[in-house]
A and B are shown apart, each in its own frame.
Chain A
Amino acid sequence: MTKEELQGATEEEQQAQSKKALKKQQKEAEKAAKKAEKQAKMASEQQSAEEDDFAKDRYGVSAMVQSQQKLGKQCFLVLRQQQFNVQALVAVGDRASKQMVKFAANITKESIVDVEATVRKVEQKIESCSQQDVELHVERIFVISQAEPRLPLQLEDAVRPDGEGEEEGRATVNQDTRLDNRVIDLRTTTSQAVFRLQSGVCQLFRDTLTKKGFVEIQTPKIISAASEGGANVFTVSYFKTSAFLAQSPQLYKQMCICADFDKVFCVGPVFRAEDSNTHRHLTEFVGLDIEMAFNYHYHEVIDSITDTMVQIFKGLRDNFQTEIQTVNKQFPSEPFKFLEPTLRLEYTEAVAMLREAGVEMGDEDDLSTPNEKLLGRLVKEKYDTDFYVLDKYPLAVRPFYTMPDPSNPKYSNSYDMFMRGEEILSGAQRVHDAQLLTERAIHHQIDLEKIKAYIDSFRYGAPPHGGGGIGLERVCMLYLGLHNVRQTSMFPRDPKRLTP
């Protein structure tokens, strides 16, 4: 026989063998047992210096194929699970045939696969993966759910930092494309980290307040009258009449305090029909609201709220460092700094600081957004904190239910809290006397008929109380130093977007 014939014969034999091998593999079912990362770490600890002679671990990985690259007799795959990814190698050898390598190379990206492999240490660090010191040598690979070949966006592009994209001429994905294909965009390691952190914020909020003795309440979102003014409210048809979607749980929080619950908080959606297309406004967002009765001075309320915020920041700083670092890789920013107890400045001090910096404003003017940002920078420069409270706002710029300052009628017992120079909370001591409330409402030229139910709730004994509310998405955005609130909202709603 000639050489070629010999070769042909062996190839045929090999083909027959590999077909049998494939069939064998297909018959047996594998189950994904434990997480890839933990197994990888355990295995690498058990390994000795020599790589050929060691106890082989066998386990299943249920992961997504992120990418693959075929180099002759080898194929490299990147497998991903939530925030972590690991490199996998399919090479022609005694466990894998040429056909298997070809099969692996043709698996479409983002398919779900079931893999049996051994974990091996590598000499050179794998820079592109989160698990940098090990790789998987694949022995069996199955596709569980195949993805379509053409993806609307590439995940490597979605994770690339903007600066790098411009420098090297590679693509980055713009926000609209991301939001249209949110399911794929949420798979990026950055998005996974952001929303895990957001879940942490919510959990820390609940835990801290429950420890302080607060009760969680749920307030209705379909209401009969607009609570804060008629302009920014959504109307829904309600059987034969119409109703409104709640702009804030304010009314019901206060009613709970009058119902003798002393300290309450609620977590729920808030609907604002503001036609603002800015980086920090959404039409629907998650509001975390607090309301409490106090004994001697409304500063007890401020202290309670700021202490809750500080506990949240500490919890994030101590327990979510991995997530913060992951986000920083794509969106670099300064770490968040704060003081304990929280810094509290008075409005007059803020006006003095702004005037010193050259801004002209009257004593009772409200702070415009650029002024707020400038004030944030000045406070950061002097006190080195990204979070502070501004107390004693002028009465003229606050809603009618804010309690005026007893010692100075120009000012009120109200406060705002800022993170990185942007406002996150607007709160105050509320007027708890029905008579005074009626006078203030008349002064603001509000129709008393519309708020009759609100005033009535204070007529039968109401303790002095105050509170405030924060937006979950905005707090996450500012804590991580991101620039658009849509990055921290899973399926954002704004005047131009209703899907997905």
Chain B
Amino acid sequence: MPMYQVKPICGGDIKIDLPTCMYKVPNIHAQQGKSCTPEHALQNGEVDPAVKALEARQDEIMRKLYELKAAVEGLAKTVMTPDADLDLTVSSSLSSQCSTTFKNTTDLDTVLGKDLGALRDIVINANPVQPPLTLLMLHSLLCQHYRVLSTVHVHSSVASVPPQLLSCLGPRHTDSYARHMFQLGFTLIWKDVPKPQMKFSIKNMCPIEGEGNIARFLFKLLAPYPSDPAVATLVDSWVDTAFFQLAEGSVKERSTVLRALNSTLGSNPWLAGPEFSLADVACYCCVLQSGSASSSPANVQRWIKSCENLGHFSHAKLLLK
């Protein structure tokens, strides 16, 4: 039995509101409504500097994100493409320094002869019916290494030329009125000639005929031939194969060459071994011109992709269209 009973003071079922908010802060937006001066500023169309700063920070972050994304993409491609320092199509948007695809550079004076104090102009005559893709490719490579003044002319022996052939060397340089400011001149003349022809020094050099030979001359301005005679001969033989059998040969010859390409590229990343050379330029252009790029074997397709990744070849592709 209980000792004593007390009447309950309060009922057992009182509802208590437990607080959910730990602490309260005054509303920022409500504050703006109270003070007058910022409201006037908004009405004038000006933006609060704090907002501006925020936007700027946000833009900066987004830009860095994009750059990072591009860099990662580039790295991904280099993993698949041998011997390329950086994907040039992407790096051009980052405006970083252009990569040196060629390890050794040549001295212009040793190849072209003594500098006589004036522009050294290389003249190339080509038939508009068969544009020399290799030479245009080499021209864009030359433009990256030297200051080149490029001009295109139409000879009176040709009635007219399609407009993309007139602009094939790129837009006119802003300094083209002062010829002496350039190291090298590249003059392309569309003329009714049987084979592409190159003239440089009337006194000391005879004209060079044939796209392969002109390509060899222009390549030597970029980098010397490999010092190992075996490799050099290999490069030469691939260049000849490209121009005589790929470009001008019958269907059977072309398929033979494609098979040979396939087998070489199975063991090497590039045609002449571990380094990119003239052989790759010549064969790529001839494969593209013969139209068999899409129907070629697997190694050749991979090699074509690697070539395109290097960035110089996009120009050539545009010209084919």
A257 to B151, CA, bound (A): 32
A351 in contact with B157 (CB, 8 Å): no
Contact of B201 among A313, A341, A355, A356 (CB under 8 A): A356
Taking CB atoms, residues of chain A closer than 8 Å to B203 are 356-357
Bound-state CA distance A339–B151 (Å) is: 12
Asked if A338 is at the interface of the complex by the 8 Å CB criterion, the answer is yes
Interface string of A258-289 (1 = CB under 8 A from B): 00000000000000000000000000000000
Interface pair B199/A349, CB less than 8 Å apart: no
Q: A297-B177, A346-B180, A383-B189 are in contact. Are A351 and B153 (CB under 8 A)?
A: no
Contact of A343 with B by CB under 8 A = yes
Q: From residue A135, how far is it (CB to closest CB) to chain B in Å?
A: 37
Q: Are A337 and B123 in contact (CB under 8 A)?
A: no
Is A337 within 8 A of B155, CB to CB? Answer: yes
Q: Is the CB of A337 within 8 A of B177?
A: no
Are the C-beta atoms of B118 and A349 separated by less than 8 Å?
yes
Instruction: Please tell me if the beta carbons of A381 and B202 are within 8 angstroms of each other in the complex.
Output: yes
State whether B189 touches A352 (Cβ < 8 A): no
| Closest B residue by C-beta to A350 | B118
Answer whether residue A22 sits at the interface, using C-beta atoms and an 8 A cutoff.
no
Q: Considering the chains assembled together, what is the distance between the CA atoms of A339 and B155 in angstroms?
A: 5
| A330 CB, nearest partner CB in chain B, Å | 23
B156 engages A336 (CB within 8 Å): yes
List the B residue with the shortest CB-CB distance to A343: B153
A493, B123: Cα distance in complex, Å: 43
Q: Which of B117, B121, B177, B201 has the most CB of A within 10 A?
A: B177
Q: Does A382 contact B (CB under 8 A)?
A: yes
* Least distance between B177 CB and chain A CB atoms (Å): 5
Q: Specify which chain B residues have a CB less than 8 angstroms from the CB of A355 in the assembled complex.
A: 116
Within 8 A of B (CB), among A311-359: 313-314, 317, 336-341, 343-346, 348-349, 351-353, 355-357
> With A and B bound together, what is the CA distance between A355 and B117 in angstroms?
11
Please state if A384 and B119 are interface contacts (CB–CB under 8 Å).
Answer: no
Q: Which of B118, B123, B187, B201 is within 8 Å of A348, CB to CB?
A: B118
Q: Considering the chains assembled together, what is the distance between the CA atoms of A268 and B153 in angstroms?
A: 33
Contact of A356 among B116, B157, B191 (CB under 8 A): B116
Contact B153 A348 (CB under 8 A): no
| Min C-beta distance of B201 to chain A, whole Å | 7
Residue contact B125 to A382, C-beta cutoff 8 Å: no
Contacts of B119 in A (CB 8 A): 346, 348-349
User: Which residues of chain A have C-beta atoms less than 8 A from B191's C-beta?
Assistant: 384
Q: Report, as a range, how many residues of chain A touch the other chain.
A: 20 to 34
- Which of the residues B116, B179, B201 comes within 8 Å of A346, measured between beta carbons? B179
In the complex, are the beta carbons of B121 and A384 less than 8 A apart?
no
Residue B154, interface by CB 8 Å: yes
A338 partner residues in chain B, CB cutoff 8 A: 155-156
> Smallest CB-CB separation from B151: which chain A residue?
A341
Chain B residues with Cβ below 8 Å from A356 are 116, 201-204
- Cβ-defined partner of A351 (8 Å) among B118, B154, B187, B189: B118
Task: Give the distance in Å from the alpha carbon of A371 to the alpha carbon of B118 in the complex.
Answer: 18
Chain A residues within an 8 Å CB radius of B179 = 344-346, 349
* Chain A residues, CB < 8 A from B202: 353, 356-357, 378, 381-382
- Residue on B nearest A336 in the bound complex, by CB: B156
CB-CB < 8 A to B156: which residues of A? 313-314, 317, 336-340
B155 touches A299 (CB 8 A): no
* B117–A384 CB distance below 8 A: no
State whether B116 touches A339 (Cβ < 8 A).
no
Chain B residues positioned under 8 Å from A343 (CB to CB): 153, 187
Whether the Cβ atoms of A382 and B199 lie closer than 8 Å is yes
Assembly CA distance A80 to B143 (angstroms): 62
Q: Are A383 and B116 in contact (CB under 8 A)?
A: no
- Between B125, B178, B204, the greatest number of chain A beta carbons within 10 A of the residue's beta carbon is seen for B178
Which residue of the partner chain A has the closest CB to B125? Answer: A384
**From A297, which residue of chain B is reached at the shortest CB distance?**
B177
Residues of chain B with a CB closer than 8 A to A339's CB: 153-156, 189
Residues of A within 8 A of B123 (CB): 382-383
B 170-184 to A, binary, CB cutoff 8 A, 1 in contact else 0 = 000000011110000
Q: In the bound complex, do residue A384 and residue B189 qualify as a contact, i.e. CB atoms below 8 Å apart?
A: yes
Q: List 28 A-B contacts (CB under 8 A).
A: A299-B177, A336-B156, A337-B156, A337-B157, A339-B189, A343-B153, A344-B179, A346-B119, A348-B180, A349-B118, A349-B121, A349-B179, A351-B117, A351-B118, A352-B116, A353-B202, A355-B116, A356-B204, A357-B203, A381-B202, A382-B121, A382-B123, A382-B199, A383-B123, A383-B189, A384-B125, A384-B155, A385-B155
List chain A positions with a Cβ less than 8 A from chain B: 297, 299, 313-314, 317, 336-341, 343-346, 348-349, 351-353, 355-357, 378, 381-385, 407
A337-B156, A340-B156 given; name 15 further pairs at CB < 8 Å.
Answer: A297-B177, A340-B153, A343-B187, A346-B118, A348-B119, A349-B179, A351-B118, A352-B117, A353-B202, A356-B202, A356-B204, A381-B199, A382-B202, A384-B125, A384-B155
